[in-house]
Structure 1
Amino acid sequence: MNFTKLKYVVAVDRAQSVSVAAKTLNISQSAVTKAVADIETELGLTLFDRRARGVDTTPDGRAFIDRAARILSDVETLGADMAAARQKREALLRVAVTPASLEGLMNRAVLDVIASDPDLRLHLFAMPLDVSLQQLRQGDVDAVVGPRRVLDEDPRTVCTPLPDLKPLLYVRKGHPLTTRGGLSVDDITRYPIVAPDTQNPIVPPLLEVLASLGGDPMRRLHIIGSYQIASRLVETGDAIGIVQDNFARTQGFNQRFVALNFKLGTPIPMAVAVQKSLRNTAIMRRLVAALIRFPPTG
């Protein structure tokens, strides 16, 4: 049974007039008349006795319309409850960041999003690439900031491009390589190299450089996912680390380390991917806008 037609019937009952009901509903009188006739035909009942000025609800009509009014009220309540539940869901924003070292560069975007809505609660996670993609597909996170090439592959998400990520090699202050210019691959491979997990987008350019020497490039690396541990190894010895260039511009980094003048592949396109079902929500539009204004890779 058509709910719109039921709504028209209830309106006629309340107004006791087809013409008044039509004005209240802001539709034509003929549309209301047809809706009443259709419902009466479907039920096999006469809902209203027509008179010169208005209508009278029949006993059968009264029993039907009272129940119909309750059903319509329940539907409206259900719609309002669902809208409230959606607003409550939207008040929680779960964002994954990969590589994990980008997390510390999300501060301006995160503060901008939180400041835009005092009711918002934001959960920010630093994850390996494969884990973040799985979490996004499962609906356990709402958005992922990561390499565009991989994020674009999932048809269930919508990607917004962000500035490219540029990988750099870095060492401690006073490292022997800091006094040399025009570094070669041989110069670099004289020292231990510390890299994050191999799915991190900044690692493949390094592997390509090491592959030019022959053999398994993985055997030339320490693989340590924790930036805290990796940076400590670099700071306390002669190991070489890898990091994105915008992180290398931060004050905290430059107090402890020096970026090497060594070309390490081409920039890596980045993006923020969001679930298609959430792309038009107010909270997601705020997140994307904040990342465009304050990109962690720019």
Structure 2
Amino acid sequence: MNFKKLKYVVAVDRAGSVSAAAKRLNISQSAVTKAVADIENDLGFAVFDRRAHGVSTTSAGRDFVDRAARILSDVDRLGSDMREGRRTRDLLLRIAVAPASLEGLMNRSVESLLVEWPDIRLHMRGGPLETGIMLLRQGDIDVLVGPKSALETEPGFVCSELPPMRPFLYGRHRHPLQGTTRLSPQDIAAYPIIVPDIQGPLVTPLLNVLEFLGGNPLGRLNVIETYTIAARVVERSDAVGVVLGNFAESRGFKRRFSILDFDMGGALPMAVAWQKSQRIGRALTRFLDRLYEFPPTG
């Protein structure tokens, strides 16, 4: 018993005759007659009483037709819900940025995306690099922006390169280290250090600062993912922090902070990644276009 035959039987009941049902369905009368006969053979009872000018539903047939109509309605609603769900999902994009301090550098790409395509819904979060990679592996996010060195080693990811960003060490104005050239690891290690991610490549240059102190060097770091919080601590203390990209050249940053002359290594290659098995929908395509146009360099 298939849905097409159920549909024909319900149509006969509503039209009042086989010929009228066939006309509404735009099929042959013989196809409807056969479908009704097949259903009645499967059920073991007559669904319709045949009359000279049409049909009427039997008592047993009435229960069957009503239930068949509900099933067909549920199937139609299920298909509609699935299509709407797919449409909604195609317009939803879940983004993670690692480390979280990069979120502020996504302003131009995100603004351009949502202004140009207001039907897109964006869920954006920042966090540690390892967390972002885990979320992308599990399918809990659609795309991850972060350091290329970590993303390109994941076998299940497609990794697309973005412009590199240079990391800087910074402190408040009139910090004791301000104005000192070629700061040494010993100079930096005398002060609290704030990093956005304990696993990412930003930590590597600072491990050299802390190793000579002995013990676990990672235990000497403050890990604060959110740039806003880290910046407030740096502004009100002698702590030093890490800032990425051209953000260090912005007027707002320069009003509050000074770049310290410490070698944080070369520019940090960046990338955007998504799962190889992932369907590339409209929201992701449009986001990638905006990200390539306005990469997170400040």
Structures share fold, TM-score greater than 0.5: yes
Matched, 1:104 2:104: yes
Instruction: Tell me how far 1:10 sits from its aligned partner.
Output: 2.5
Extract unaligned runs of 5+ from structure 2.
none
For residues 223 and 205 of structure 2, the distance between their equivalents in structure 1, rounded to whole angstroms, comes to: 17
Residues 154-173 of structure 1: CA deviation (Å, up to 9, x unaligned): 85xx6563515434223357
Write out aligned runs for 1:4-83 (5 A). Answer: 4-15=4-15, 16-17=17-18, 21=22, 24-25=24-25, 35-47=35-47, 56=55, 59=58, 61-81=61-81
Distance 1:91 1:40, change over 3 A: same
Alpha-carbon deviation of 1:275? 11
Distance 1:77 1:144 in 2: 35
Going from structure 1 to structure 2, the CA distance change for 1:219 and 1:104 (only over 3 Å counts) comes to closer
2:187 corresponds to which of 169, 178, 190: 190
Equivalent residue number for residue 268 of structure 2: 267
Query: How far is the alpha carbon of 1:142 from its aligned partner?
Result: 5.7
Match of 1:257 in 2: 258
SS in 2 for 1:146: strand
Distance 1:61 1:233, change over 3 A: closer
Name the CA shift for 1:46/1:146 in 2 (closer, same or farther; >3 Å): farther
- Structure 1, unmatched stretches of 5+, are none
SS in 2 for 1:264: coil
- Contact 1:93-1:120 at 8 Å conserved across structures: yes
Q: Number of residue pairs matched?
A: 288
Deviates more, 1:241-250 or 1:210-219: 210-219
Q: What's the counterpart of residue 200 of structure 1?
A: 200
Q: CA deviation at 1:90?
A: 7.3
TM-score, length basis structure 1: 0.66
The alignment yields a C-alpha RMSD, in angstroms, of 4.8
TM-score (ref. length: structure 2)? 0.66
Mapped contact 1:152–1:159 kept (Cα < 8 A): no
The amino acid of 2:102's aligned partner reads: L
Cα deviation digits, residues 253-291 of structure 1 (max 9, x gap): 3443337584615633422447977x5555455444443
Q: Which moved more, 1:247-256 or 1:98-107?
A: 247-256
8 Å contact 1:194–1:221 — kept in the other structure? no
Q: Matched residues, percent identical?
A: 44
1:168 aligned partner, one-letter code: P
Task: Determine the structure 2 residue equivalent to 1:222.
Answer: 221
Rounded to whole Å, the distance in 2 between the matches of 1:27 and 1:212 is: 82
Is the contact between residue 178 and residue 258 of structure 2 (CA under 8 Å) also seen in structure 1? Answer: no
For the residues of structure 1 that align with 2:105 and 2:216, how far apart are their CA atoms?
29
